[in-house]
Structures are given as C-alpha cells and as structure tokens.
Amino acid sequence: MNTPADKSNHSPDKDAGKHWLYRSENLPKLWVIQIVILVLAVLPDFFLHHHPHFEQSGFTLDGSFGFYAWYGFLACAGMVALAKILGIFLKRKDTYYDE
Amino acid sequence: MTSEFAFPPGLIMILGAMLIPLLGGRSRMLLLLGLPLLTLAAVWGLPADASLKLGFLDYTLEPVRSSVEGRLFATIFAIMAFAGGLYAHRQASTTELTAAFVYAGSAIGVTFAGDLLTLFVFWEIMALGSTVVVWSAGTQSAYRAGLRYLLVHLLGGVVLMVGIVAHVIDTGSLEFTAMQPDSFGNWLILIGFLVNAGAPPLSAWIADAYPEASPSGTVFLSAFTTKTAVFALLVGFPGADVLVPIGLYMVFYGIIYALLENDMRRILAYSIVNQVGFMVAAVGIGTEMALNGAAAHAFAHIIYKALLLMSAGSVLLMTGKRKCTDLGGLFQSMPVTAINGIIGALAISAFPFTSGFVTKSLETQAAANEGMLLVWLLLLAASAGVFLHAGIKFPWFVFFQKDSGLRPPDPPAGMRYAMWLFSFFCIAIGLYPDPLYRILPYPVDYQPYTIDHLVTQFQVLLFAGFAFFVMLKQMRRTLTISLDFDWFYRKFLKEIGNEFTLRTSVARETREQQVWAGLRRLIENLYKHHGPQGMLARAWPTGSMVIWVAVLLGLSLVLYYL
C-alpha cells in the first residue's frame, strides 16, 4: 500500500543514509502513487453499475457513481473528527491512574 | 439420549495442563502442541448426536452435547491453543502456560455445554485461568489490572448465576437452548454473557487488563473470553433485537478509543471490542446468514487478532516498548514481524483475498438482506473505520511513521513460525473459504468474490486509507490514555473511598476526644472526692466520731421513749 512518511520529521540535509521511505524527496512520489491507486479504484465505476441493496425502500444512493469511495472517506474523516472532539474531554496523561 | 460415554473434549486440555509444570524442554513443547491436536481429534471424533447426561438433584446435566456451533468454536479454540503454545513456549512462564491451557480447555468446555450449570462452571474456570494469565506477567500493574479484571468477571458470573437460578425456577429446565430476553432470569443471563463480550458499560476491562499481560499472555487472552461470549449469545439469544444497537455501539466505541490510544496493544484490545461488536450485532439480526456471519467472523477474527497481537508482542519482547510514540521504523530490522503484522492488519480490515473479506461480508450482506438500511450504512462506515484504527494505524505507527532509531532483530523461531502459520490461515481462508463455509451452522448460499463486491470493498478501504494519510496530523500520538467507564471504579469510587476515610477518621478523632474528655472528667471527680485531699478520703478526727456515736445513742434513746 501507499506509505507517505510524516513530513514534519524530515529535513533534506538529514536524509543521507536513510531508508528510501524516509527520504523527503520521495514523499511527493508516494503521494502520486497513492492518488494513482485511488483513481484506479474508482475507474471501474465508469463501466459497472453497482446493484443497490435497498431498492425496495427507495434508497438507491449505494448504486450511484463512487458511493463507496466518498462514503468510506467521509466515514473515516468523521470518525477521526469525532475522536478528536471526544479526546478533548477524555484524554488524560498516561500516568493518570498511577499510584 | 445416547448411553455411550462421551468424554468432554475440554477436559483434555484442562487435565493435560497439569502436566505442563512437570515437563521441560522438548517434551513440554510436544505436550503444548499435542494437547490441542488431541482436543481437535476428540472434537471431530465426537458423533454429531453425542450427548452425556447426568442426573443432578432434580435436574439433568449435559456436560457434553454435540452441536455444529460448538464444534466450530471448539475447533478454532484448539487451533488457537496450538499456535499460542508454539508462540509462547520459549518465553512464557510455567504458570502462564498452565493457566493458558486451563483457560483454553474451559473455553472448549463451554462450547460443549448442554446445560446452563455446566456452562457456568466452565465460565468461571475461564475467569480464573485468564486472571492467572494476566498476573503471570509479574508486574505490579499486571497484578492490579488482573484484580480489576477478576472483579468484573466475578460480577458477571454472579449476575449469570442469579439469572440461571431465576430461569430454572421459571422453566424448570437447565437446558442451554435458544432464549428470548423476556423474563428477569433471561435478562440476567443475557447481561452475564454480554459482560464477557465486552459490551457497554463495562467494555473497559478488555483494554485495561489484556495489554498488561506478557507478550504471549495477551495473545491467549484475545481469543477465548470474548469469543466464548459470542458463542453463548449465538446459541442462547439468536435474533434478540437488543443486541443490534449494543453491537453497533461496541463497533464505534472500539474505533474511537483505538484512534485515541497510544499503546499499541491497547489499540488492538479496543479493536477486539470493535470486532466482537460486529458479531453481537449479527447475532441480533438473527437470520441464518447473519448467524453464519457471526460464527465465521469469530473464527477468522481469532486468527487475525492473535496474529496482530503476536506481531505486537514480538515488538514488545524485542524492544521493551509498547507506546507508538516510542516506536516506528521497525520494518527495517524486523521484516518478518512487520510482514505478518501487515497480513493480520489486512485480514482484520477485510481486504479482498483475506479471511476478513469472506467472513465479515456475510454480516453486512445479512443486514442488507433484511432491509436494515441504517444498520448496513453503519456497518459499512465501521468497516472503513476498522481499516483506519487497526488496519493502518497499528502497522503504520509501529513499523513505519518516523524512524525511532530502534534496530531490534526479529523474535526467536517459535514465535516466527506461529506468526507464519496464522498468516497462512488468514490468506488460505480468504482464497478458499469453502472449507470454513461447510462447517458453519447453516448452509451457505453466498459468493464473496463478485466483481461488484471486490470493487466496492477496494473503494471503501483505499479511500479510508486516503483519509488516514490526509488526516495524519490530526492523529499525532500523544502520551495520553482515555477515560472510560473504568474511571468510575478506578478513580471516582476510589476518591469517594478516600474522602470517606478522611471524614470518618476526623469523626472518629472527635469522638475519641470526647470520650477521653469524659474519662478525664470522671477521674478528676473521683480524685476530688476520693483523692488524698478528697472529702471522702480524709482521716476522720476522733472528736467527730464521738459526736456521731453520741448522736446515734441519743436517737435510739428518743426512739425508745416513743
């Protein structure tokens, strides 16, 4: 799968001797690879009509173009955001329960 | 009723475990691998209608009852014990291995229980065995977490027992069979089962206790307790509507808490709740396809979750570190651990050609078949979320992200073999689901490999992965834990207890002061009257004696004249 490294930890001068994945000049390549994979994943939707699961109840969104792609993305973005918000209230130092 | 004696397959490992402390080295290895194989043979050698019945007071106990569900769960439990033994042999303590095998054997005992009392007995042995597994990590935090774990399970056990008693009073039968939550007793039985499944509000025990065990201990723990609960729900409460919302809650609870977590094995522990949530919801849907899905998912889940925890356990063993903030870049020196961790991560995410793909889809499809639109949409979102919180998060933060500079080697051979074995199963089941489909409770009429399913699944997962990397900044690991329901018994009640101690000790102090003051007054009074200067202690002068004698004599004279 796609594995772009975390940008913030890298500056160009420190890259010598690092693994390919960790060199900052490779970061854009990794993003390009990822975008290509995503495009490939959506491509079949041009040729193929998904069978909606809930036709009888009038819900046909899941048969529409790219539904699974945007739904998967938004669901995850939503969950990360929700976790972030709940984290404000729930997070404590990991020594919280220590005696 | 059959008259032949059917030996309870669970007892093979429970009794066999007693030999583990007596043997060492090679012969112990043979025992660890032989017992599960022997159990497997016993499970499959048992006739389909096998039953062992015993009279007990006015009731009939059925310690052995063959069922398709029981055989399926017993099979995966035995396979798990085999791989766990292989993984644990070198570095686990004798106590841990013995306890783990008693624990596994009693889980198998539950799967063959034909009556509620047998189920309860094995249920409680499981609680004890697993507690000892937690404790055998030998640390202070493991001791405390194990104690909390035991208390939760003893509470669940008490609720279950009360439920069983009420159920028997209602129905007059101990038989373990499909029930509905429609009476007091049945509700308590359901709650007792759900406690072990990690259902709300007590879900926190999983992430609290399991990650405190040793690297191999957590692998054993991940498999048995929660999946035995899934088995019990599957047989006891198929189609109980209340399980659908409970399962969905667990699914999202697991994702959110795993996203917030920093400890790699706690991430995976939260993800157990998430996965069991899928199964609980499927049991609640209750159609043949949904129940097949729950059973198949449990089977596949035990394998890939154990694989993930084996990978995490290897990292812990070789680095001594468990926090994502301390780890990263390990793929460079631990390629075997990384590859197996990634295979487990792909399987849990239901990537096509892995075991998750062919099992979890039965559950989502079952929701769609029943026209449960909202449930289906939530399960689909959750499937994306699984990839997010376990599928990418675990391998990314442990094996990739920043380079932590750590360069530990891969773990010893036994641990590597155990990981390869389970990776093989993850992919083999994904590629050839038929053997698994054939041993499911109901006939399977489902084809996971359609173009439509493959395309949609790839889209969901790849875009979930895209969301992960787009939002990576939002997921920066912090040195934090997240509050959960266990806050009530670890902090709130403790603070109340402390406050109580403080106040009662002040009250006691005041009472004590009062009592002392009273005593002191009493002594002062006594001293005043009876002390050296006291009126009553003075030496009496002879004169006053004479006067009093004269008075008395005078009085008696007066009386005499009267």
pLDDT in tens, A27-71: 888 889 999 999 888 888 888 877 788 878 778 788 788 899 999
Our separate counts of H helices and E strands in chain B read 22, 3
Residues facing A92 on adjacent strands: B481
Most confident of A24-28, B76-80, B393-397, B453-457: B76-80
The answer to whether B154 and B127 are in contact (CB under 8 A) is yes
What are B344-385's pLDDT values in tens digits? Answer: 999 999 999 999 999 999 999 999 999 899 999 999 999 999
Tell me which H or E stretch contains B553.
helix B542-561
- Banded pLDDT at B545 (limits 50, 70, 90): confident
Tell me if chain B has a CB within 8 Å of the CB of A11.
Answer: no
Return mean pLDDT, chain B.
92
On whether both A72 and A60 belong to a single domain, the answer is yes
**By residue range, what is the domain housing residue A63?**
49-93
For residue B386, the tally of other CB atoms under 10 A from its CB is 26
Q: Which pLDDT score, from 0 to 100, does residue A2 have?
A: 42
The per-residue b/e assignment along B52-72, b for 16 or more CB within 10 angstroms, e otherwise, is: bbeeeeebebbbbbbbebbbb
On whether both A5 and A40 belong to a single domain, the answer is yes
- Banded pLDDT at A8 (limits 50, 70, 90): very low
What are B144-159's pLDDT values in tens digits? Answer: 999 999 999 999 999 9
- Banded pLDDT at A3 (limits 50, 70, 90): very low
| Interface size, chain A vs chain B, as Cβ–Cβ contacts under 8 Å | 160
Q: Which pLDDT score, from 0 to 100, does residue B186 have?
A: 94
Residue B539 has pLDDT above 80, yes or no: no
Q: What is the DSSP code (8-state) at residue B137?
A: T
On whether both A24 and A35 belong to a single domain, the answer is yes
Number of domains in chain A: 2
Contact B463 A86 (CB under 8 A): no
On whether both A39 and A69 belong to a single domain, the answer is no
Q: Quick one: average pLDDT of B186-198?
A: 95
Whole-structure pTM value? 0.88
Contact B455 A18 (CB under 8 A): no
HEC assignment per residue over B432-466: CCHHHHHCCCCCCCCCCCCHHHHHHHHHHHHHHHH
Measured distance CA(B134)–CA(B157) in Å, rounded: 18
Give the closest of B457, B468, B480 to A93, CB-based. Answer: B480
Q: Quick one: average pLDDT of B233-250?
A: 95
Residue A12 has pLDDT above 70, yes or no: no
On whether both A6 and A41 belong to a single domain, the answer is yes
On whether both A22 and A59 belong to a single domain, the answer is no
On whether both A42 and A60 belong to a single domain, the answer is no
- Banded pLDDT at A15 (limits 50, 70, 90): low
On whether both A37 and A77 belong to a single domain, the answer is no
Measured distance CA(B39)–CA(B73) in Å, rounded: 12
Which residue type does B171 have? T
* B423: phi then psi, degrees, rounded to nearest 5: -60, -40
In a domain, A98, yes or no: no
- Which region among A46-50, B171-175, B248-252, B543-547 has the lowest average model confidence (pLDDT)? A46-50
Q: Which pLDDT score, from 0 to 100, does residue A20 have?
A: 78
On whether both A24 and A57 belong to a single domain, the answer is no
The pair of structure tokens assigned to B139 is 């640390």
Residues in chain B: 562
Nearest residue of B to residue A42, measured between CA atoms: B459
In a domain, A99, yes or no: no
Q: Which pLDDT score, from 0 to 100, does residue B34 have?
A: 94
- Banded pLDDT at A11 (limits 50, 70, 90): very low
On whether both A29 and A53 belong to a single domain, the answer is no
Three-state secondary structure call for residue A18: coil
What are B1-24's pLDDT values in tens digits? Answer: 444 567 889 999 999 999 999 988
For residue B316, give the nearest of B331, B303, B304, B326 by alpha carbon. Answer: B326
What are A82-99's pLDDT values in tens digits? Answer: 999 998 888 888 888 876
On whether both A25 and A56 belong to a single domain, the answer is no
Q: What are the domain boundaries of chain B?
A: 1-233, 238-484, 487-535
Nearest residue of B to residue A49, measured between CA atoms: B452
On whether both A36 and A64 belong to a single domain, the answer is no
In a domain, A14, yes or no: yes
Q: Which pLDDT score, from 0 to 100, does residue B218 have?
A: 94
Q: Which pLDDT score, from 0 to 100, does residue B366 have?
A: 94
Burial class (CB in 10 A: 0-12, 13-18, 19+), B518: exposed
Most confident of A92-96, B342-346, B388-392, B488-492: B342-346
- Distances from the Cα of B349 to the Cα of B251, B301, B374, B454, angstroms: 13, 10, 21, 13
- Banded pLDDT at B402 (limits 50, 70, 90): confident
Residue B113 has pLDDT above 60, yes or no: yes
Contact A72 B368 (CB under 8 A): no
Q: How far is B229 from chain A (nearest CA, A)?
A: 27
From A12, A27, A47, the end of a domain falls on: A47
Cis check: omega of the bond before B412, within 30 degrees of 0 = no
The residue behind tokens 């990739």 is: B400
pLDDT: is A11 or A64 the higher one? Answer: A64
In a domain, A16, yes or no: yes
Tell me if chain B has a CB within 8 Å of the CB of A65.
Answer: no
Give the closest of A3, A41, A57 to B462, CB-based. Answer: A41
Measured distance CA(B244)–CA(B278) in Å, rounded: 9
Answer yes or no: is the ipTM higher than 0.95.
Answer: no
Q: Which pLDDT score, from 0 to 100, does residue B167 have?
A: 94
